[in-house]
Structure 1
Amino acid sequence: MNPEARQEALRRHGLTETQDGFELTAEGFQRASRRARDLRQQGDPEAVRMMALSPEDPDRWEYCRCLQIEAFTAEERASGF
């Protein structure tokens, strides 16, 4: 994955890269929340617990950030990077 494609993938997943790691954008939070709803419907206990939290709760944001990092990493691996 070249640098431009990597930046596009980060944007698509709603992530920005900082010195300290990845930060989640509001768009990324929305995407991850949709994914978490799907996981909740499949009976994932962590998704059930996290989706019960308020959207402003930092734990829910962290859960969503992890979901997006996981999705980004899977895409990056699939690209052969």
Structure 2
Amino acid sequence: MRNAEQYLEALRRHGLTETEDGFALTVQGFQKGSRRALALRDQGDPEAIRMLSLAPEDPARWEYCRCIQIDAFTAEVRRSGI
């Protein structure tokens, strides 16, 4: 049961929820993903530069942030063995 609790906590920390279609991004997840995108932009990442030029309500920007958060969540799960 501990792993299930840790898994749900990791989802929450990354601003994700699980749906039958995969992962959905919360507003908190969008904010965290946007901060990660800013760091990537500062490193010269062309995709982050392009995505951050979009309006915050643009679905492509939300999808980009969702992918960033899924990557971070997956890395944490692998690292921790949840």
Q: Which residue of 2 aligns with 1:33?
A: 34
> How far apart are residue 80 of structure 1 and its match?
2.0
2-side partners of 1:61 and 1:51: how far apart?
10
Distance 1:56 1:42 in 2: 24
* TM-score normalised per structure 2: 0.96
Amino acid aligned to 2:45: D
Is 1:54 aligned to residue 59 of structure 2?
no
Structure 2 residue runs without a partner (length 5+): none
Q: Which amino acid aligns with 1:21?
A: G
Deviations 1:22-63 (A, max 9, x none): 000000000000010010010000000000000000000000
Per the alignment, residue 6 of structure 1 pairs with 7
Aligned length: 81
Quote the Cα distance in structure 1 between the aligned partners of 2:38 and 2:28: 16
- Quote the Cα distance in structure 2 between the aligned partners of 1:80 and 1:20: 23
* Aligned-partner residue type, residue 40 of structure 1: R
Identity %: 70
Q: Tell me the TM-score normalised to structure 1 length.
A: 0.97
3-state SS of 1:55 partner: coil
**What displacement does 1:79 show?**
1.2
